[in-house]
Each structure stands twice: as C-alpha cells, then as structure tokens.
Structure 1
Amino acid sequence: MKSPSLLERAKDGDAAAIAALLSSSLKAQGIAVRADRESYCLSLWFTGNNTVPPQGPMVAYARRAIDRIQPPTIGILNLYGEQTGFAQPAWHEEVALLSLPSADAEAVSLPLDTPTAAPPQGEPLNPSGLPELEPAPVAIARAYEELGLALGEPLAHVEAVYFKRRAELLRKGDRAAIEPLKWAFTTLKTYLEQPQTDEVATSDLAMADIATVSRSGSVKRSRPSTPLGPAQPNAPDDTDILAFDNRYSNGLIFPALLLAGMVMNALPIVNALLWGIKIWIHEFGHATVAWLAGRRAIPLPIGWTSVDPRRSLFVYLGILVLLGLLYWAGRREQKRWPMGLAIALAIVQFVMTWLLPADTFDMLLSFGGVGGEIYLSALLMVSFYFPLPNYFRWDFYRFPAVLGAAFCFWGQVWLWQQVPRGKAAIPFGSLWGEADHGDMNQLINVHGWTPGDIIGTYSAIAHLCLLGIFAVYGYTLFRQHREFFIALGRQWLP
C-alpha cells in the first residue's frame, strides 16, 4: 500500500507533517518550525536562528498555511515566536479557526507562499523577509462595524468618527473600550492609505471569521496580542495625551511639569500655599519605612506620623497581600515592571521586618522624612513613564502626581545645594517648634551622625536621584526617536 504523502498527512492534521511543510517553506528565512498537537489544538513554534521571527507576519503566514492545508480536525492554533538559545518564547498568540473557507484543489497543490525571489531593484525591502500582508477583507468589514460605519466610508469620515467616539469614552473614563476603536481605526487607516489594485469582492467579505479565543473561552476578534515583554509599541499613539507611548507627553509635558515644580518653589506665595504637599510626602517618608519594617504607622499632614515600634504580623501580611495583588495585576496585563517592583519590595519588606535591628530601624525612620522628600518624589516622577494596572488610572493621575513630586523634590535639591555653601542651615528641630526633637537632632544625638554626614548623605541622594530622572528621560527620548538620534550621530560623529 502506498504511504500517504507529506501534504496528505498534513491535511489529515499530522502535526509533524505540518511542521515539515512550514519549515521547508521558511528555511530560506532562517526559521525552523516545530509542532505539537493535543486534541483539536495545534501548537506551532517559529524559531529564528539570529532573531525572533516577527509576530504579525508569522501569525498571518500560519493562518494562510492552515487555510490552504485545511486540516478538518484542528480548531485552535497556539503560535509562538522564539530565538535559538532562549528558553522562553518572545511572543504568543492563540487563534481559533471557526470556519475557514474551503480551498480549491489548485490552491492546495501550490507550495506555501514564501519570499523566494528578490524584489526588483528600487523596491523597498520588507525587513521581516516575509511578503507584505494586506489586511484581510474580513478584518476591514469588522473594523467598519466596530466604528459603526458603512462599508467603504472614506478615511476622512473614519477619522472624524474615531476621534469623536474616543473623546466621548475619555470623558466617561472608559479607556478599556478605546482599544477596539484604536484597532479598528489603525486597520482602516492602513488599508485606505495603501494603493488599491483590486476591489474587495462581496464574497470575500463573507469569509468566515478568524477569532482570538481568550482563556475563559470567550471569542474576540483577532488582533495581534501583546508580546511577552516590556510594553514598547511599534506605533506610538500621539493622538491620546494620556497614552504612555505619546511622544509629546513623554518628551515635552514631562519636562514642563518638572519646570513648573521648580517655578512653584521660586514663588514664595505658592510655596507657602502648597507647603502641605511637602509635609505629607515627608510624613510618608517616615511611614513607608515603618510599613516596610512591619510596624503600624499613620502619616498625618500636620507634621506628625504615629509609629508603633513593635512588629505587627497584621501589617506585614497586609503589605504582602497588597504586593501580591500588584504582582497579579501586572502579570494579568503583561506589564513586567509592576511584577518586578512587587518582588523587590517583598524582599526588602522581609529583610526590614525580620532581619533589621531595632536601632537601625529607628535610624532609618528618622532619616526617612527628609530622605522621603527626595527619593519618594524622584520615584513618583520617573514612574510617569511606567504604566500601572488599569484600575489605578495612573495614566491620568501621573500628571498631578509628577507636578506635586517635582515641587517637593526641587525644594530639597535647592536646600542641599545651599547648605554646604553656608547659605542655608540644616533643618534641625520639628514643625511643632521643638528645637531639640527633630529628625536631624535624632540622627546626631542618638545615632552618632555628624553635620558633615548629614550634608554629604542627603546631597549625594539628591544628586543620584537627579541623575536617575535625567537618565530615564533621556532613555525614553532615545527609544521613541531612535532613528533620529542614530542619523544625527552618523552626521556629526566621524
């Protein structure tokens, strides 16, 4: 009996045969494919030799391949992109094949599409090495439907409807509903701006949907999933001022807020009216030390923080639960930095609660007031660039938070610039007028610090935080304007 061919085995749903067909087609691109099948679910790993295969072209290529092979018993594709030598895949997308159209015999007999011929001279090269993919007609129809428009509306009307509906959702605070609109707008904009060589047939618009299936089993329209890594969008959204990848917010508004905080410090009346912001951050500096060390603390905006020096298991577990929720929310939304922050703070909390001597805790508690005005303010400012889980609404509150933090931060930077020059004094005493019972007094009288130690420590922390702020700002500018800076360097550097 004649053994079935590789294509016949692939059409029967043989995972190894499908992987062999795809590997032979992608071999010229340096991409190997391996497959595994469990029931009606087929998993495909695209492994690049020197780089991670691009997600969008690979997903579209896999869909087209399965469309041509037509295995009748495969309902879900799990697609992974990885690089040789790395243990974890760089991206993952799950695709459900609800009812792919039947492929004719001629299409099945053809080899899978691969970029075998070099493009004519003068044509732009596709950096991914894969054929350029136009949006599928079904995606165009879905995008029009998402925006509530009739099929074939021009780009000007699409833009008007998108911006109007987005503004309404922003006023309502429903940012989650903006994502489908953004996807629809981007899809239609790409489709309508490219040259149209063939008219979209009505039969094409009736093609069966390819949908992304969530883990809960619900079905959603397919669109590229988020890579398993830091959020670095390929197309910055400069139309949404609250977006974390908005280049105007990151490049102009952030330094404007820092400058506004500096000006607020220079105006005596504003400084006096907003003095409470500095007091509260000062008290939170004390309280954060106490909380991380497992002590009860209540910061009050009247220049006083009530601290219980005894360890509290309730406080320790409560903070640990909050850090666990932060980690869980970051993992759910695939934001790595909240996960890393939660782990780091949990380690610091364990050390400070169970390993830190009592006298060291007392010293850090005294140090944390003025220190908190410096490093807590700096952390608030640089967190402008780091998205928190959506329910925090950090995309909005980061603007006033950075302004208040900058107001407090520049006050301390200016103070510790003036103290070594003899133009300002170390802030001995307390807000309540007790000249011998302030934080600086505690550091000197109880913990053996000298005035030089105080000046040197706080000045060094202020300069390090200032350097960190500029480093984060510079890195963000370079990341979002990489091509500009590279071109500038090539022009001016030998």
Structure 2
Amino acid sequence: MDINLEECYQILEVDELAELAQIEKAYFRLVGECLKRGEKERIETIKTAYQTLLNHRKTQQQEESTQGQKAYEQEITNGIARALRGMALMIRVDATVEYVEIKIRGSKPRQKSTILHLIYEYLRGADNLQHTLVRVTALKTVKTHFWQEDINLAPDRHNQVYANDYILLQEGEKTLNTYVLPIAGAIALAFSYAEVLTWFIGMWVHEFGHATVAWLSGYRALVTFGATITTLEKSNFVYFGILFLLGLTLYTGWKEKKKSTMIIAIILIILQFILTWIVSYTNYVTLMAFSGIGGEFYLSTLLIIAFYWRLPEKFYWDFWRFGAVAVGAITFFSSFTKWHNIKVGKDNIPWGTLWGGRGDSGGDLNILNDYAGWTTTQIVGTYISLSNICLAVIIGFYLYHLFKSRPELWVKIRRLFP
C-alpha cells in the first residue's frame, strides 16, 4: 500500500510539525481504538502510515545531522585557515564522534612548531569547538604524513597528551624570550635613579673587565673594591690553568651537545693564545686601560646575551642567568647613557681613579691619553662606537631568539604586507 506523507499525517491525525513522540503516541492510541472496535484492516493502514512517517523523520534527521556536521567542519576549516593565513596551505577538517582531524597539505616539516602553535592558539579561543580532542596531520601524500600530533583540550590537565606538552613546555621559554630583556631594561631604567647602587654594580663589571684581560693574557689578577691588582710577570700557572678550564668546558659542551658552550670555549682558547703569546706588552697595557670601561660595555653585553645560551648543567645557568641579565642591563644602560651624555657635553669624562681622584695619572683614560696617545675625541668616539655595536648585538640577539621561539610571528608579519 502506497501512502504519501500528507495521507500519513491524516491517518494518524497529527500535523506536519508533530514530534516523533507525538506521532508514536497517536499511533498507539489509534491502534488501541481499532482493537476495541475490531477494525483489524484499519490497523494495517495505521501501521503503514506510522512506519512511513518514522522512516521519513529518520532520513530527515540524518540529513540534518550531515548538514550540521558539514557546517561544523566548514566553520573549523575557516577558523584554521584564518589562523594559518599567509602560509599557503590546503586545509581539510573531518569530524568524528571521538575527535576532529585537521589535515594540512603543502607544509614543510620545519613548519611543525609554527603550525601547532597557531592552531593551538586558535583552538583555545574557539567558541564553536564541540570536541576536546583535535588531531593535526601534516600530509606528505594521500596515504603518508610528515608528522601527526594530538591536542587534548580537556579541562583535566593530567589527561592531556603529548602535543599539549610539546606546545606548553615551550610556552615558558617563549614568555622568557619575549619579556625578560624588556623587563631587564625597565629594571635598568629604574636603577638609574639610584646612582650609588648603579655605580656599585657597574664598578665590579668594570674591574672584571680589567681582570679578564689580565687572566687571558697570562697575568695574575685580583679584583678588589674599585681596583684590580695585577702582577708584572706572566704566569704559566694562570695560562695553563685557564686553558685547562676552557678545555674542560669545551669537553663538557661536546658531551652535552651544547653548541654555544663549545663555540664560546673555542673562541676564548684562541683569544687566550693571541693575548698571551702574540700581543706585545705595550698593547697589553693599552688593552688593560681600555678594558675597564670597555668591559662595562662588552662584558655587560655578554651577560645579557648569555641569557639565551645553553651552558653545561653544572653551571646552573638556568638559575644564574636571571641575575646576570639584570646586572648586565643595569651596567650597560648606565654606561651607554653616560658616554652618550659625554658626547653631547652633558657629562664629564671620568679621568683619574676612584682612590686618587681625577688627577691620578694611573687612571684608565689617563693611560690611554698619555701612554697610548689617544686624543679625547678618539677616546669618546671609540667608546661611543663600542656602545652602539653592543646595542646592535643585544637587539639582534633579542630579535633572533624572539622569532626563533615564536616562529608564528613571521606569519603574522607577512599578513601585514599582502
């Protein structure tokens, strides 16, 4: 018996807007009435009408569900496409009961970190996301992929899977690389109003500037308050002792695969050899005089950029680097400001020594002027140039590590220049 939908509604005495529960209720009511009246033939008609409407509603629900899923997938696809805009990637989203899979084509293996960070950033703020598990797959071919990671957005952190750890473990370092240097600059600016404290910190960096040159040149040196005491004769103990320490540092860096440590050790070994065996005593005296204020620039710069280095575990650098970057920033900012003020005539050249006053001929700048023959203009110009070079190095290191830890910034910058 073929019955159209309109007849089915009439037979069951319901309208087209009736819910399945209402249709089912009407069906059982009519069947009951027919049984009481003995109208068995009509029961078959009612059953046919009921089954027809039931199949129709199920088909209708399936179509609505399919359309809803497609709309959901398209919504997520559009969101991911916006998040990855500028990377020229093809994106497809497939939603299952258990998870949403984001398939990406056209990516390169080295883009994994960038893609995961941008997607994770979008997912955390997506109001339309109905799943807590998201699988990200970077396709190589139709059947193979470069990599695949799961992101679990469940509230329970203990149930989160590897991709969250892969991303979240880098969040702390990203934050440090972004904000530590600006914060250190702000601290240096605040300390500039406490001149005595700034001078005290910078004084030790100044003296270590002298001492490091003496040690690398093979001379004994003792850093004291406001002075560095050195011997007049070279010491094999100092040379080979420091060489041994540098060699041990090189070996430790190689063993722990710390490239920055190895590079620094090799540079210092070469520099030590040159200063000890090649540089003349006259040039050593000049270099010693220069390295006090010079150290305020290049040593403070090294303290700042060393924040980004990975040194051997026994150095406990992950802890000490915070103090080092603060000391470096305070010293550098103070010296940079002072010498640029000297250049424009707002401050005086620091002739003499702490203990002997401005007239002490043993002062660093006095030696450069009297012994090495540097003019006042040369002295100021040299330290200004050194300060500018060091500033460029600091900014360069900051930007390099900023973009290294936040590769998605390149994508966001490219969006500004379509």
TM-score, normalised by the number of residues in structure 2: 0.62
1:190 matches 2:162: yes
What secondary structure, in the 3-state scheme, does the structure 2 residue paired with 1:298 have? strand
Match among 181, 199, 204 for residue 275 of structure 1: 199
Deviation per residue, 1:4-29 (Å, 9 max, x gap): xxxxxxxxxxxxxxxxxxxxxxxxxx
Q: 1:127 to 1:322 in 2, by over 3 A?
A: farther
**Retained in 1: the 8 A contact 2:215–2:238?**
yes
1:456 matches 2:381: yes
The letter of the residue matching 1:298 is L
User: Residues 44-193 of structure 1 correspond to what in structure 2 (within 5 A)?
Assistant: 125-126=138-139, 129-130=144-145, 156=156, 158=158, 189-190=161-162
Q: 1:383 Cα shift? A: 0.7
**Retained in 1: the 8 A contact 2:137–2:145?**
no
What residue is the counterpart of 1:299 in the other structure? 223
Q: 1:247 to 1:309 in 2, by over 3 A?
A: same
Q: 1:236 to 1:329 in 2, by over 3 A?
A: farther
Asked which structure has the greater CA Rg, the reply is 2
The letter of the residue matching 1:444 is N
- Using CA pairs under 8 Å that are at least 6 residues apart, name the structure with larger relative contact order, 1 or 2: 2
Q: 1:190 Cα shift? A: 3.0
Distance 2:110 2:356 in 1: 66
The letter of the residue matching 2:210 is H
Match among 172, 176, 186 for residue 249 of structure 1: 176
Which is richer in helix?
2
**Retained in 2: the 8 A contact 1:258–1:402?**
no
The letter of the residue matching 1:462 is S
Q: 1:251 to 1:313 in 2, by over 3 A?
A: same
What residue is the counterpart of 1:354 in the other structure? 277
1:342 matches 2:269: no
Q: 1:387 Cα shift? A: 1.5
Deviation per residue, 1:269-300 (Å, 9 max, x gap): x2213432111111000000001101100111
Gaps of 5+ in 1: 1-50, 55-122, 136-153, 160-187, 194-232
What residue is the counterpart of 1:288 in the other structure? 212
User: Residues 415-494 of structure 1 correspond to what in structure 2 (within 5 A)?
Assistant: 415-434=338-357, 435-437=359-361, 438-489=363-414, 491-494=415-418
Q: 1:355 to 1:401 in 2, by over 3 A?
A: same
What secondary structure, in the 3-state scheme, does the structure 2 residue paired with 1:307 have? strand
Distance 2:256 2:367 in 1: 44
**Retained in 1: the 8 A contact 2:138–2:146?**
no
What residue is the counterpart of 1:109 in the other structure? none
Distance 2:238 2:209 in 1: 17
**Retained in 2: the 8 A contact 1:277–1:404?**
yes
**Retained in 2: the 8 A contact 1:377–1:409?**
yes
Distance 1:331 1:235 in 2: 28
Distance 1:432 1:344 in 2: 35
The letter of the residue matching 1:254 is L
Q: 1:235 Cα shift? A: 4.2
The letter of the residue matching 1:189 is V
- Cα RMSD, aligned residues only: 2.7
**Retained in 2: the 8 A contact 1:155–1:189?**
no
Q: 1:325 Cα shift? A: 1.4
**Retained in 1: the 8 A contact 2:213–2:291?**
yes
**Retained in 1: the 8 A contact 2:219–2:233?**
yes
Distance 1:303 1:454 in 2: 21
The letter of the residue matching 2:372 is H
What is the aligned length? 281
The letter of the residue matching 2:380 is I
